[in-house]
Structure 1
Amino acid sequence: MGLWNRVSGAIKDKNSVVLANLSGKSSFRNPVLETAIINATSHDDCRFDKRNAQTVFSWIRSSPISLLPLDWALSRRMEKTRSWVVAIKGLMLMHGAFNCKEPAVQNMGRLPFDLSTFSDEHLGPSQAWGFNAFIREYYAFLDQRALISSENDNRKTDISSFMSQQLSKVRKWQSLLDTLLQVKPRAENMKVGLILEAMDCIIVEIYDVYSRVRTEISKVLLNLQSIKKTEAAMALKILRKATVQSEELASFYEFCKGFGVLNAGEIPAATQIPEEKVEELQRIINGVSDTKMICKDEEDFSEEMEGKSAIVEYKEVKGNLKTVITDKWVGFDEN
């Protein structure tokens, strides 16, 4: 960031703080909270202000009933800014708010602002495109995370629909992981401290989401006695997806290590899924047909019914892709 942009940004932040303190307290405005949000999302591109961020998080914990002042102040800040620095800091602040684990934040439904079309106005197109893409991807993840967190998972169901809901839950977390793996710096000029701080947050979140996927898959495998044949096929598709994502995750970690992201220093170790659970799932599927299940689109898939595992790989046979059952499983240790 150039000297003029630094000075201009500092002046804007100072004026915003003055206006916040002159506004007075109301049902949707809190000068102390607004000041902390402005300082936490300042135009200073050197670092994220954790002290002021903690002030915001402390307010959330002490005032969990109403998020109106937080929503109003942060939304106003985000929707007015055309600075990639302020936008990324705002997303990091929102990310930290989710980690406060307060029900009011978890149940907000969607983010109170929209950065899906964000564009920085202080850099030229050749310099800004990487930052713009990063902000849009980071926003897409947080917005999807907010939606998933707000869904009520405590609905009363009968035994026959329990497994379907568990499988649906896994698919949602796998979809969120797909979105997370899109959040990464794509331009050389993005090797700056603030981006690396944001990526540290992303790496921690990826670990958490991938662990949730593994946990939910384990729940499915523990309840195979109630699974239907169609649900078993869905479960097998989920396991195939887990294999693909494990490969993408390894590639993502390698990319982040090369970029200098500290939390990507070591990829979590793999673990084995109980073989008897895989065999039980295969026996359920084998009850459908002794022949291969051939499908034509992504919603359907082909599986060979013989072998010792439910994980799928692809091999090229005479110019065509063939589905092959393997005995591989990748997941995180429970530590």
Structure 2
Amino acid sequence: MKLWKKAAGLVKDRNSIWAASISRRTSFRNPDLESIIIKSTSHDEAHVDYKNFHRVYQWVRTSPTYVKPLLWAVSSRMDKTRSWVVALKGLMLMHGVFCCKIPAVQRIGRLPFDLSNFTDGHSKASKTWAYNAFVRAYFTYLDHRSAFLHETASSAVAFRKQQQLGRLQAGGLDIQSPEEEPPLKEELGKLRKWQALMDMLLQIRPNPGTAKVYLVFEAMICILTEIFDVYSRICKGIARTLMRIYAAPGKEEAQIALEVVQKAAIQGEELEMYLEFCRDLGALGSSECPKVEHIPEEDIIDLERIIHEVSDDAGKEKRKENQNNCMEIVAIESGGDDLLMFGDDHGQQTTTKNKQKVFKTIITDKWEVFPDDDMISWVSTGYNDASAATADYKNPFASSSNLMPYVAPTHNQALPDLISL
């Protein structure tokens, strides 16, 4: 039975290569590249043609014009196949294409094919359900990874354009100056998306009955490499954001960073459990497993302290502002005591006594208009208030009343005799 399936798969691959070789060359189809992709995604589950894998990567790195033929050939083969072997090899091929890190690949966006409901059609479901689940989980991650690459590249281009526009508006063209860091909230948002991708990666688990299959073992090498790459990105991103938060603490940013750090601590424990699971299945050797770096507990404590300190400072400033805005103090002299009246916005008043005469004016937020006659009388005779009766009181304008009165000079001039003229 296995020999018959292998022979049937070989015939299908040769027919596909022959059909691709006689196809017409267009902007979306390249017969040579299509033949290499068919060889890379053959039906042979006991062999992975890494030589043709690297030939595909060389085509992609040569020119961005080969990205469209690549996507057309891969999507056409993935849409037609009913074999989990071909589907898994196609996902491994696309995973390697994403690692090329060229702008044309980063602009792909969502994958042009759908394997979210993949089912192998060459064997019974009871025998292939584990392979089907593995292919679906792998596709889900790569699909979201490709979309995240597109989003990250677009936001980076927009940020650079905004920087260049700011330099032009400032009147300078210092292109060699170091680029500014993106906003802190944007960096924290990217960390959250990386953590979501990490959760999807940890869902790609081989079944105990399929872990020792050669093709699944090779796919797990790619997945484990990706897991450590994503986890290292998360740890480095957290280190950068923590440095920025410590330099300029803010409650909102610190709250988001605290959630990210707590999530990273949980994912570190889940990663250790995942590696232990792979080691038990034989998909990972004990010497091949690197040590998992955990998030220090001190970072979580520092973020909690920053949040509490910022909250306390904001609460104190708000209470002080409310006290300054809502309270007014009025001092009224009654006999030998001073009555201090405190009023609020609700019209309630509280009166206390003050034995010492400290307040001599009214402190209120209401304006009082003085007539012009009173102002003239105040300048000439002094303001008649309670302090005028004291012995030490001096009118600053009293000395001006003892001066000689000012008499304007007059000039008598004879009028001309207009009649005699």
TM range (shorter): 0.7 to 0.9
Q: Report 1 or 2 for greater relative contact order, CA contacts < 8 Å, sequence distance ≥ 6.
A: 1
Matched, 1:250 2:272: yes
Match of 1:192 among 213, 220, 231: 213
Match of 2:185 among 161, 164, 167: 164
- Counterpart amino acid of 2:270? E
1:43-81 residue CA offsets vs partner (Å, 9 max, x unmatched): 000021101111111100112245111111110000100
Distance change in 2, residues 1:263/1:168 (3 Å):
farther
* Inter-partner Cα distance in structure 1 for 2:135 and 2:226: 16
* Inter-partner Cα distance in structure 1 for 2:29 and 2:128: 33
Matched, 1:7 2:30: no
* Inter-partner Cα distance in structure 2 for 1:261 and 1:129: 19
Q: How large is the Cα RMSD of the aligned pairs?
A: 2.3
- Counterpart amino acid of 2:37? I
**Residue 129 of structure 1: how far off its partner (Å):** 0.6
**Residue 101 of structure 1: how far off its partner (Å):** 1.3
Match of 2:228 in 1: 207
Q: Contact conserved, 2:208 with 2:281, CA < 8 A, in 1? A: no
- Counterpart amino acid of 1:261? A
Match of 1:48 in 2: 48
Match of 1:329 in 2: none
* Inter-partner Cα distance in structure 1 for 2:249 and 2:4: 64
Q: Contact conserved, 1:57 with 1:97, CA < 8 A, in 2? A: yes
Match of 1:282 in 2: 304
* Inter-partner Cα distance in structure 2 for 1:92 and 1:71: 14
1:201-239 residue CA offsets vs partner (Å, 9 max, x unmatched): 000000000000011101111101334212211111111
Q: Contact conserved, 2:261 with 2:295, CA < 8 A, in 1? A: no
Q: Contact conserved, 2:110 with 2:147, CA < 8 A, in 1? A: yes
- Counterpart amino acid of 2:254? A
Distance change in 2, residues 1:187/1:261 (3 Å):
closer
**Residue 111 of structure 1: how far off its partner (Å):** 1.0
1:262-305 residue CA offsets vs partner (Å, 9 max, x unmatched): 47732324366594x65542332113557xxxxxxxxxxxxxxx
* Inter-partner Cα distance in structure 1 for 2:66 and 2:57: 14
Q: Contact conserved, 1:29 with 1:73, CA < 8 A, in 2? A: yes
| Structure 1 residue runs without a partner (length 5+) | 291-335
Match of 1:180 in 2: 201
Distance change in 2, residues 1:106/1:283 (3 Å):
same
| Structure 2 residue runs without a partner (length 5+) | 164-179, 313-421
Distance change in 2, residues 1:271/1:116 (3 Å):
closer
Which of structure 1's runs of 4+ aligned residues deviate more than 6 A? Answer: 157-161
Distance change in 2, residues 1:34/1:161 (3 Å):
closer
Q: Pairwise mapping of residues 1-335 of structure 1 onto structure 2 (< 5 A)?
A: 2-151=2-151, 152-154=154-156, 155-156=158-159, 162-224=183-245, 225-262=247-284, 265-270=288-293, 273=296, 275=298, 280-287=302-309
Q: Contact conserved, 1:9 with 1:43, CA < 8 A, in 2? A: yes
- Counterpart amino acid of 1:240? Q
Q: Contact conserved, 1:170 with 1:216, CA < 8 A, in 2? A: yes
TM-score of the two chains, using structure 2 as the length reference: 0.65
* Inter-partner Cα distance in structure 2 for 1:140 and 1:272: 27
Paired positions, count: 289
- Once the two structures are overlaid, the 10-residue window that deviates more, 21-30 or 213-222, is 21-30
1:173-226 residue CA offsets vs partner (Å, 9 max, x unmatched): 000000000112124144200000000000000000000001110111110133
**Residue 24 of structure 1: how far off its partner (Å):** 3.1
Name the SS of the counterpart of 1:75 in structure 2. helix
TM-score of the two chains, using structure 1 as the length reference: 0.81
Distance change in 2, residues 1:146/1:227 (3 Å):
farther
* Inter-partner Cα distance in structure 1 for 2:182 and 2:68: 37
**Residue 161 of structure 1: how far off its partner (Å):** 8.2
